[in-house]
Amino acid sequence: MKKFLSLLLAGVMTLSLAACGGSAEPETDATEPAAEGSGQKYVIATDTAFPPFEFTDASGNFVGIDVDIVNAIAEDQGFEVEIQSLGFDAALLAVQSGQADGVIAGMSITDKRKETFDFSDPYYTADVTMAVAKGSDIKSYEDLNGKTVAVKTGTNGADYAKSIADQYGFTVTEFKDSPTMYQDVIAGNTVACFEDYPVMAYNVQQGAEMEIPEGMTAAGSDYGFAVKKGENAELLAAFQAGLANIKANGKYQEIIDNYTK
Provide the binding-site residues for ligand GLN, judged by CB under 6 A: 47, 50, 88, 105-108, 152, 155-156, 196
Instruction: Give the shortest CB-12-to-ligand GLN separation in angstroms.
Output: 48
- On whether the CB atoms of residues 174 and 87 are closer than 8 A, the answer is no
Q: Which is nearer to ligand GLN, 50 or 141 (CB)?
A: 50
Q: Which is nearer to ligand GLN, 108 or 232 (CB)?
A: 108
Instruction: Give the shortest CB-211-to-ligand GLN separation in angstroms.
Output: 20
Instruction: Give the shortest CB-189-to-ligand GLN separation in angstroms.
Output: 20
Q: Which is nearer to ligand GLN, 138 or 158 (CB)?
A: 158
Q: What is the DSSP string of 109-136?
A: --HHHHTTEEE----EEEEEEEEEETT-
- Reduced to 3 states (helix: H, G, I; strand: E, B; else coil), residue 75 is helix
Instruction: Give the shortest CB-171-to-ligand GLN separation in angstroms.
Output: 20
The gap from C-alpha 149 to its chain's centroid, in whole angstroms, comes to 23
Q: Which is nearer to ligand GLN, 51 or 242 (CB)?
A: 51
Q: Which is nearer to ligand GLN, 108 or 129 (CB)?
A: 108
Q: Which is nearer to ligand GLN, 42 or 119 (CB)?
A: 119
- CB atoms < 10 A from the CB of 13, how many? 10
List the end-to-end C-alpha distance of the chain, in Å, as a whole number: 41
- On whether the CB atoms of residues 54 and 66 are closer than 8 A, the answer is yes
Instruction: Give the shortest CB-30-to-ligand GLN separation in angstroms.
Output: 33
- CB atoms < 10 A from the CB of 66, how many? 27
Instruction: Give the shortest CB-137-to-ligand GLN separation in angstroms.
Output: 27
